[in-house]
Amino acid sequence: MSMTLLDIRPPEDHDILIKKLSEIYTSMGLSDTFRHRKKNGETIFVDIYYSDVQFQGKSARLVLVNDITERLSYYNAIEAQNIRLRDIAWTQSHVLRAPLARIMGLVGLLQNGKLGPDEKEKYFKHVLDATHELDEIIHNISSMTQEVNLSKRHQKVPKE
């Protein structure tokens, strides 16, 4: 074991490590998330827990390191999916509402029966335009939903 703590950390994390090490020496225990570099150069995320203990009459430090890379990827995927779901909800409650309100208003005008043939034709055209817009919005929402379903299918479930 000729590697140092700095050897297993990405260079851009060295300052963070040095700061955390100074905190370690003034505390009884630590729990934090760090990035480690594996032998193959891959960077992973780890949770490190340490505690000072007495072992066979001597002071020792118990250190537990758990790779949480897959779990963080899973949480990030869930967060991205939640953002897409919020986008879908916003689209349904705001974008979908505009053509629907226009259709409702135009139908109300058409129902009152006091319109001439030219006005009726004009309003029917507006209703038709609004229904096409509504159809396009619904197709967009369906596409957004498909994206959420596809991304959900490709996620790995974390091992606990």
CATH, domain 11-67, list 3.30.450.20, 3.40.50.620, 1.10.760.10, 1.20.1440.120: 3.30.450.20
pLDDT digits (tens, 9 = 90+) for 30-52: 678 889 988 898 999 999 888 88
Instruction: Please report, for the chain, the start and end positions of each structural domain, with discontinuous segments joined by +.
Output: 11-67, 71-153
Confidence of residue 101 (pLDDT cuts 50, 70, 90): very high
Mean pLDDT of the chain: 84
- d(CA 97, CA 130) in angstroms, rounded, equals 11
Topology, domain 71-153: Helix Hairpins (1.10.287)
Token digits of residue 112: 């009152």
pLDDT the model gives residue 28: 60
Residue 118: the pLDDT is 92
Token readout for 156 is 């790995």
Predicted local distance difference test score (pLDDT) of residue 153: 53
* pLDDT at residue 159 is higher than 50: no
- What percentage of the chain exceeds 90 in pLDDT? 34
- For the stretch 70-100, pLDDT in tens is 999 999 989 988 998 899 888 888 888 999 9
Taking the model in full, what pTM does it have?
0.57
Question: Counting every residue, how long is the chain?
Answer: 160
Quote the crossing angle between the two packed helices 97-111 and 117-153, to the nearest 10°: 150
